[in-house]
């Protein structure tokens, strides 16, 4: 009996040791899995937490948000994902100074005109001869005058007001209307036009003073100024308001 008991006790201790080893190995495997799980979770959280410029460094640099062109540096690809590591980031809102509203007001480019008006010139004409040279001189002097609807002075002028004011300096009285000016004039062939004749759009929406070579002086539109420019349409005709002596 004593020999059988000893043998049984020896078998039981061997089984106990094998059982302990199995338990130890299972515990080690669980510990490794837990560590890997924590490591993976931490990496994903860090990736999500990266700011948007970490995924588009070129856009960030072009927007001027970085200290220099080496704002970010891509790490080695990991499982198909390249993570950008931030090297340097600097943000600046810039500087500004307060300004008074008067600084943004549009100031006239010339002193306010206080000279003779059309009525004054009709009473005492400035020019005694109606020539192309004199007409071009009078027309060119008004270049830069701002367009003002209904205006007929160098302080502000519209297209028919411009023609009216120029011709008043020669003692020629005209109505302030494209249509009426055209109807009171002689229509001539375009090939016979000379500088000083009047360019009239066929729909009577606009007119100006012919300057030769397909150009005319005119007061274009609100926001613009009197200028010398090409006749920008082929839908026009020429009228003559006075006998131009050349």
Contact call for residues 174 and 182 (beta carbons, < 8 A): no
Contact call for residues 238 and 197 (beta carbons, < 8 A): yes
Residues forming the active site: 159, 206, 218
- Closest by CA to 162, choosing from 128, 129, 211, 124, is 211
CA dihedral 153, 156, 162, 168 (to 10 degrees): 0
- The pair phi, psi for residue 162, each rounded to 5°, is -65, -50
Q: Give the C-alpha separation, 194 to 136, whole Å.
A: 11
Distance of CA 197 to the CA centre of its chain: 39
Q: Give the C-alpha separation, 244 to 195, whole Å.
A: 9
């Amino acid at each position: 009996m004593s020999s059988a008991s000893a043998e049984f006790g020896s078998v039981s201790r061997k089984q106990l040791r094998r059982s302990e080893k199995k338990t130890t190995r299972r515990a080690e495997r669980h510990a490794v899995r837990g560590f890997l799980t924590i490591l993976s979770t931490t990496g994903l959280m860090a990736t999500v937490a990266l700011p948007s410029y970490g995924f588009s460094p070129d856009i960030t640099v072009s927007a001027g948000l970085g200290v220099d062109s080496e704002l970010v540096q891509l790490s080695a690809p990991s499982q198909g994902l390249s993570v950008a590591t931030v090297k340097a980031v600097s943000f600046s809102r810039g500087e500004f100074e307060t300004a008074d509203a008067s600084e943004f007001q549009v100031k006239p480019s010339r002193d306010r005109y206080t000279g003779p008006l059309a009525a004054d010139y009709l009473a005492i004409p400035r020019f005694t001869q109606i020539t192309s040279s004199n007409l071009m001189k009078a027309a060119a002097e008004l270049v830069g005058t701002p367009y003002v609807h209904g205006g007929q002075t160098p302080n502000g002028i519209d297209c028919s007001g411009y023609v009216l004011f120029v011709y008043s300096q020669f003692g020629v009285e005209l109505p302030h209307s494209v249509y009426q000016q055209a109807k009171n004039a002689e229509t001539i062939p375009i090939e016979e036009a000379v500088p000083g004749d009047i360019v009239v759009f066929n729909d009577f929406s606009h007119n100006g003073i012919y300057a030769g070579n397909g150009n005319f002086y005119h007061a274009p539109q609100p926001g613009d100024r009197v200028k010398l420019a090409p006749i920008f349409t082929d839908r026009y005709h020429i009228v003559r308001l006075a006998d131009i002596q050349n």
